Amino acid sequence: MKKLIPLCALIFSPSLWAETPAQFIASYSAEAAKSQPGFVADAARGQAFASKRWGVSAKLANCIACHTDDPRQPGSHAVTGKTIAPLSPAVNPKRFSDSAKVEKWFKRNCREVVGRTCTAGEKADFIAFATGAR
C-alpha cells in the first residue's frame, strides 16, 4: 500500500500529462502556486536561473554551460561534447512535448547542475525562458 501512494501521485501529477510547452508552464505554475500563491512563470527569472553558477560542478556550473544563453541555438555537453538540440520549441518542435522526457531531463540536469531537485516554479520559469513566453 505504501508503494501505491507515490505511484498514484505520479500518475495523477498534472505535469506528467502536459504535452505542449504552454501546458507544462501552466501545470508547473499551478503546482508552484500551492506554496507561492499567485505564482506566475517568468522568463526573466528563468534566464537568471539558467545563468546562475550553482557551484556543484566546475564544468557544469550552470544550465547555459551546455545549452547556451540563446535557447534557439544548439548547445554541446560541457563534459562529453555531445551536441544538444536547441531548447526553443520554435526551432526544435520536439522540445517540451513529451512529459516523460521533460521529467527525465529536469531530474538529471537539476541534480547534476543545481545539486537538488528543481522546484515546480523553477521548471515553469525555465520553460518560459526557453520558449520565450512572456
Which domains are assigned to the chain? 14-131 (1.10.760.10)
- H/E stretch holding 76: strand 75-76
Residues present in the chain in total: 134
Q: Report yes or no on whether pTM surpasses 0.75.
A: yes
Position 3 pLDDT exceeds 90: no
Give the Cα separation of 89 and 28 in Å (integer): 18
**17: which 3 cell numbers?**
500529462
Position 20 pLDDT exceeds 60: yes
* pLDDT, averaged across the chain: 88
Of 46, 48, 41, 47, residue with least CA distance to 26: 41
In this prediction, residue 55 carries a pLDDT of 86
In this prediction, residue 48 carries a pLDDT of 97
